[in-house]
Structures are given as C-alpha cells and as structure tokens.
Amino acid sequence: MISLAAPILGESEKQALSAVIDSGWLTMGNQVKDFETAFAEMHQVSEAVAVSSCTAGLHLSLAALGVGDGDEVLVPSLTFVATVNAILYVGATPVFVDIESVERPHISLEDAKNKVTAKTKAVIVMHYAGYLIDNLIDWRTFVDANKLFLVEDAAHAPGIETVGQIADAAAFSFFSNKNMTTAEGGMVIARQPAILEKIRALRSHGMTTSTLDRDKGHAYSYDVTMLGYNYRIDELRAAIGICQLSQLKKWNNKRRQLTAIYRKLFTESNITIPFKDHKITAAHLLPILLPENIDRTQVMKQLRTAGIQSSIHYPPVHHFSYYQKHFPGVKLSKTENFYKHIITLPLYPDLNQSNIETIVKSVNSCV
C-alpha cells in the first residue's frame, strides 16, 4: 500500500525521547523552551508558544484577541472542522466564506467583503494544501479598514518564513500527517508580544508561574489571573519536535520536487492540479480535480484495490450535520463544486518518482 501520508521517525527521535525519560522531567521544561526558540528563529519572529494542537492554538489566538460572545468570524468552509470549531469555543459565530475558484481554492476576499457586518470581529484564512495565500497584504488592508483581527490557520504551511508576518496570530499543526510531527501538538506566533504572553498564560490555566519555576526555587506559589485551559505540550513531544524541525526545510523541498513530478506526469491527462502557477508552498497535500461525470467513490475504490490510499480534503464544514443544524441554509457554490471533484493523492518525502508514476498511471486508468 502506498499510504496517503507517512511520518519520518528514526534514531534521533528515539534518542531524544530516551534523554527526556532519563532526565525525569516530562512536561513544560527546557525541551519545550528550546523547541519554541528554534521554531521562532525559523519563522523569523522573536517568540513562539508551543501548545497541545493547532486547534488549541486557534482557540487561544481568538481568545487572546478578545473574540467572544456576539462576535462574528469570517472563515472558509473548505478546511478541517477544527478551524471553525475554534470560533464556537470562544462563543462567536462562524460566517462561511466561499473560495476564489476551483483552480485557486483559497478563501475569497471578494466574498468576505460581501459578508462583513458590524458584528464581524475577525477573519481566519487558511493556507490550503500548503499553498500560501499570496494576497495577504490585501487581507491586511481589508481587516484594518474594518477594525478586524486576522488569524492564519497555518496547519499546512510550517517552515515558510513569511507565514505569520502579516496576521495578528498564526497557528501551526504537528499532527502525525503534517509536514513535521510531534504526534499531537501545535505552535502559535503573534505580532504583538502582549497577545503571545496572554496565549502563554491561557495554555496553562492562567497561572502566573510554571511547575519548573517552582521546582527550581524561582517561585514558591502562583496566582491564577484568568480563566485558562490545559493546552500545554510535554517534553517528549517537544524533543521530537526539535528533531523534526531540523529536517523540515529539506522535507518541504522534497515535497515540492514530488509535486512538480505529479504536475508533469498529469500534463497530458484531463486531471487538473490546483495552484498551477503558485510560487510559495510547503506542499502539504497533493489535491487533484477529477473531470465532470466521474464517480469519485469508484475511483477511490479502484485506487485502494491497486494499493494506493487516497482521501478528500475537505468535506465542506457547512455540510456536516452539526453545522447544518445550527447554521442552516449556507450556500457556497464554488466550494461545493470544488468538493465534488477533489481527491487527495499520496505526498510525503519518502515517495519516489516510481511511486508517483504508478499513482498517476492508476488514476488515469481509473478515470
């Protein structure tokens, strides 16, 4: 079976985990601090805050920015459901925004302009499949003109230096299928140090001192200054993250090379790969668009029979039962058209050209 995604884990990760176990300190210690520092340096920011997931990062970002009851947040429906769930966690209301086109499935600025109201407090943009939204300056102009906050869901785009430079906060994912992994985990960066400090406090119950500070005698008690959460990351995951981060740029480059091979091999077929001329990408996913009147389920079944895993990224959030019940009547024609034809093919650094030739041949045969 050629898997859809596969983490790369080896001897360095094993040694890092063993070192943490031998140290006897398992949570919120020097490994977490070193991971945050290395991640911040890679993304050319002064600080970063490690959290338990990208979902937690989005939740804390919105909370720290003051988004809450009675507010609306503009958000794409073409995303993982966690992006939208985070809006509900702070008591705000998601307002679903269509994509630009099937060839460029990023949240549409034009549709956002039509849906902004006096209640709108923030916008979440998402770098779908790892392709960076290249009109973020226009988004910044839009949010500033309307006195809104801009949050980047950067789950698909770690290792790209420009991510988080324009938004008020950006959240990253280290889930097992991402470009780098800590099994579960995430990171947040923000423009304003005060926002990042609030996120740092919120991730650990709103406490004023850490367990490590008290263990070292730097403090003897603590206060709780806000209603916080348990969104901490542990030393074991941070140790893995340090190892993974050191390989991230190399892996991202390999993903871009493999994507170029896919594009070249599909040139003579009636398969479309979105973002044809997009220049900046972490190449997280390889989405393809099937031709009209093709039975996607049959294609996916035949690919599995051929030993090739595939998936769909993503079913629109507004189609899920929970969201249909609570937010009925949403119509996003471009998002829905994109969803009808999308399939995600395998993409990860351990693939080779022979694997991709097999995949492309199988897809063309199925179609």
CATH (residue range 11-245): 3.40.640.10
Which stretch of 56-60, 176-180, 206-210 has the lowest confidence by average pLDDT? 206-210
Q: Check whether 313 has a pLDDT greater than 70.
A: yes
Residue among 121, 178, 198, 254 flagged as catalytic: 178
Cα dihedral 78, 83, 88, 90 in deg (nearest 10): -150
Cβ atoms of 155 and 173 within 8 Å: the answer is yes
Mark whether 340 is an active-site residue.
no
Could you identify the residue written with the tokens 């988080």? Answer: 164
Rounded to two decimals, the pTM is 0.95
- pLDDT band at residue 279 under the 50/70/90 scheme: confident
Homologous superfamily (CATH) of 249-366 is Aspartate Aminotransferase, domain 1 (3.90.1150.10)
Rg (CA), the chain: 21
What span, in angstroms and rounded, lies between the C-alpha atoms of 118 and 87? Answer: 17
Q: Among 50, 342, 307, which Cα is nearest to 204's? A: 50
| pLDDT tens digits, one per residue of 169-199 | 999 999 999 999 999 999 999 999 999 999 9
- Taking 3-state DSSP, the helix, strand and coil percentages for the chain, each rounded to the nearest 5, stand at 40, 15, 45
Here the tokens at position 316 are 């629109």
What span, in angstroms and rounded, lies between the C-alpha atoms of 303 and 289? Answer: 15
Cβ-in-10-Å burial (0-12, 13-18, 19+) of 364 comes to: middle
Residue 212 has a pLDDT of 60
When the pLDDT of each residue in the chain is averaged and rounded to a whole number, the result is 96
| pLDDT tens digits, one per residue of 82-138 | 999 999 999 999 999 999 999 999 999 999 999 999 999 999 999 999 999 999 999
Q: At 210, is the secondary structure helix, strand, or coil?
A: coil
Residue 302 has a pLDDT of 97
Neighbours of 339 (CB within 10 A): 21
> Where exactly are the structural domains of the chain?
11-245, 249-366
Residue 209 has a pLDDT of 72
